[in-house]
Structure 1
């Protein structure tokens, strides 16, 4: 039996849609490294022995950004940290080098309304 090209494409598209959310939530190879750096970044900005300091283990890939030089791109991983009632969003930029976690940049922003 021969499958028509349109029917085969429909089956493939349905399979990709079904696997889409699971594939999108795939764990980035540098997720553990990002959580470790998040703890260090919070400790750097605040007192290292703050008892209420926690870091969420959930790491969310939020896209890529272009490197400042060359044609490369960096993966951006988002990690949330908490100190008492304050929340901090941290982004970690990793070079897209297979098999290596090369941290190229980081940022931390407090999630609050100062106004």
Structure 2
């Protein structure tokens, strides 16, 4: 009985550590939130030109980080932002490297129209 109790305590602590690590990762990922929103506006304007109907959602979702293909020891934070032009919806993802001094370095971006073809 005591052995089961000790195992349950270990599992509980491991889950708590995992959850706090994930929360810390999301917090660091959202450090570049404002830059991602600004970049989303620029990306839509680049693809479609200036348009008064462009709207950018202020909700930014932190996705799982990805490994830098050039240096496996480095990771890029991935932020997802949605944009809209008239009836069009666009999912944009931005990859940032967070430098030690807190600077967000944009490393990649993608845009995909959310459509049922």
CA RMSD of aligned residues (A): 2.9
Higher share of residues assigned strand: 2
Secondary structure of the residue aligned to 1:59 is: strand
5+ long unaligned stretches in structure 2: 1-5
User: How many residue pairs get matched?
Assistant: 110
Q: CA deviation at 1:59?
A: 0.8
Partner of 1:105 in structure 2?
108
Higher share of residues assigned helix: 2
Once residues 86 and 33 of structure 1 are traced to their aligned partners in structure 2, the CA distance between those partners, rounded to angstroms, is 23
Q: CA deviation at 1:23?
A: 6.6
Once residues 63 and 85 of structure 1 are traced to their aligned partners in structure 2, the CA distance between those partners, rounded to angstroms, is 29
5+ long unaligned stretches in structure 1: none
Query: Could you state the TM-score of these two structures normalised by the residue count of structure 1?
Result: 0.76
Return the match for 2:40 from 28, 38, 41.
38
Alignment of 1:41-52 (within 5 A): 41-48=43-50, 50-52=51-53
Secondary structure of the residue aligned to 2:59 is: coil
Q: Is 1:85 matched with 2:87?
A: yes
Query: Could you state the TM-score of these two structures normalised by the residue count of structure 2?
Result: 0.75
Once residues 29 and 46 of structure 1 are traced to their aligned partners in structure 2, the CA distance between those partners, rounded to angstroms, is 28
Q: Deviations over 1:62-112 (max 9, x none)?
A: 111111101211000000000001100000000132311000000000000
